[in-house]
Every structure is written in structure tokens, then in C-alpha cells.
Copies of this chain bind each other. A is one copy, B any other.
């Protein structure tokens, strides 16, 4: 088994062994349900990997890794309510499977359980980890609030968008790598670089996610056009809105009201190509991916360990859906 598969397995085992209270049934079943829906477990693997490359022991980093995954699932449970998302990984979301109160309370309880898990970290690091967790958790809330606000806001800039995805998605990846480094007693300099690595990778990751939603390959199982149908103000949308010709801008505005899905997606994609939005998005995501990798050069690590981190980044980057 390769290293990443091993770390992933340790995360799954840790999640299965979580001891949760039993009552009320629906409260804790909703938590088990969302955890059992699975996922790539990227963030906890980042914690374990960040710890491993600095020579840390896996069992010392596992509580923080699980905590980060629990936090991530808390945010998914609440986001699904706000986004009116009825499905999560092909299954009913918690607020659909149960109801709104259970999804709110399940999320609240899951956030508390994430704190409890983080507090199982060794005494020596627990305060530093908690402080980082607190700051990051607030930023994730801020990012989601910005995302919500953008839905009814007409003056969103590309810079606003980049800041939103940094907060909503990227800081948690930065914090994951940094926590691993902290637990392995890496220097502040290296821990901060790991944060930067994760954060840049997180922005690249989200930009690519948006890109694949438009230009992914359906033969890899990617469903195309979800963001377009929701009138999401992605970087591509904002580029077309700001940089398109008068005609193109008007066409984009009119497309918001088109109800036929196929027409809407097809015409929007053509506009994204014609306005240079597609190329701009590719450039931007490549820029962040390179920025992420550049951080690795300055780490006080052997080339082998830098390569491990680089390969991990590449494995995320190469995904097709």
C-alpha cells in the first residue's frame, strides 16, 4: 500500500472508531450519516502528511486530523441547508433525510465534537492548535457568508471571488498542513510555509473545481454546468461579465433568465470561451498551483519529503472530476 492510501486508511479507521453519545437518536445518527457518506478525506490526510514529512508520529496527529474532517462535515451539513442542496454524494442531505432542526443541531453538535477531538492532542500543542482552529473556523464562516451574499450582489469583483474561495475552502487546507507540522514540532517558519502551501493549493483546487464544472470531461463521470444553472458568480462568470464586449455582457445577463438547461449551458460555455474567461481561469488556477509548489522549495526538508508533498499536490491537481 502506498503512503497516501495508508494515511487515508488510518483516517477511515479513526472515524469508524469515534465514540459518540447515542441519545437523542436522530441527533447523533445525523452525524454518523454524514461521516459515513465518505469523501476524499483530503484535509485529514493533509494533517497526517504535514506531520509525517517533519518526522512526527501518526498517532499524535490523528486527533487533529479527525477533528478537521469533523469540522469539514459540520460545514457541509450547514452549507447544504443554505444552498438548498437536496443531495450530498448522491444521497439525501441531512435536512432532507431528517429535517431542518436536526441538520442545524447535528451541525452544531458536530462542531463541538470536532473541538473535543482536537483536545485529544498532546497538552504541549493543544492551545496552539485550538487557536489556529478558532481563527480558521471563523474564516470558513466568513467565506460561506460571502458566497451567500454574492448571490444577491451585482458588483462582485474577481478579487472578491478569490478572497471568498480562500476563506471558504483554502484556509482549512492551509490549517490542516500547518497543524500536522505543529504536532511534529516543525519550526514556525516551516509551519507557516506549509500553511501557505495548503492555502495556495486550496485556491487552485477550487478554481479547478469550477473549471471542471464547465469544461470537465463527461466521460470521467463529471456532470457539466451545475454552477451555470445556479447562476454562480465564478471567476469565469465574473471575467465574462467584466471583460466581455457590450454585446457579450448583455447576452450573459439575458442567459440568467433562460430556463432551458441545455441552451443555457451551451451558450454560457461559448461565451466563456469567446470572452477569454476560460483561458483566464486556466491561467489563474495554474498560477495558484505553481505558487503552491514554489512554497515547497523553501521548506527545511529533504528532497524526498518535498517530492512527497509535490506528488500529493499533483494527485489532487490531476483529478478529472
Contacts and interface: CB of A to CB of B under 8 A. Distances in A.
Interface of A: 21, 23-24, 26-27, 78, 81-82, 100-102, 104-105, 107-109, 111-113, 115-116, 119, 123, 126-127, 130-131, 134, 137-138, 141-142, 144-146, 148-149
A24 B145 contact: yes
B78 A141 contact: no
Contacts of A134: 112, 115-116, 119
A24 B112 contact: no
Contacts of A138: 21, 109, 112-113, 116
B123 A127 contact: yes
Contact of A145 (B26, B113, B137): B26
A131 B284 CA distance: 44
Nearest to A141: B109
6 contacts: A26-B145, A81-B104, A108-B141, A111-B111, A112-B134, A112-B137
Contact of A111 (B105, B108, B126): B108
Contact of A82 (B104, B115, B130): B104
A142 B23 contact: yes
Nearest to A20: B138
A101 B148 contact: yes
A19 B78 CA distance: 26
A130 B119 contact: yes
Nearest to A75: B108
A101 to B, nearest CB: 4
Copies in the complex: 2
Q: Specify the main secondary structure of chain A where it touches its partner.
A: helix
Given A21-B138, A116-B134, 20 more contacts: A24-B142, A26-B149, A27-B145, A78-B104, A78-B108, A81-B104, A82-B100, A101-B148, A105-B141, A105-B144, A105-B145, A107-B108, A108-B108, A108-B111, A109-B141, A112-B138, A112-B141, A115-B134, A119-B127, A123-B127
A197 to B, nearest CB: 25
A138 to B, nearest CB: 5
A145 B102 contact: yes
A145 B134 CA distance: 25
Contact of A149 (B24, B113, B149): B24
A104 B148 CA distance: 12
A202 to B, nearest CB: 19
A154 B248 CA distance: 60
A154 to B, nearest CB: 16
Instruction: Identify which of A27, A81, A105, A142 gathers the most chain B CB atoms within 10 Å of its CB.
Output: A105
Contacts of A113: 138
A115 B82 CA distance: 24
Contacts of A112: 111, 134, 137-138, 141
What 3 pairs between A and B have smallest CB-CB spacing?
A: A82-B101, A27-B145, A109-B141
Contacts of A123: 127
A149 B148 CA distance: 30
B81 A141 contact: no
Contacts of A24: 142, 145-146, 149
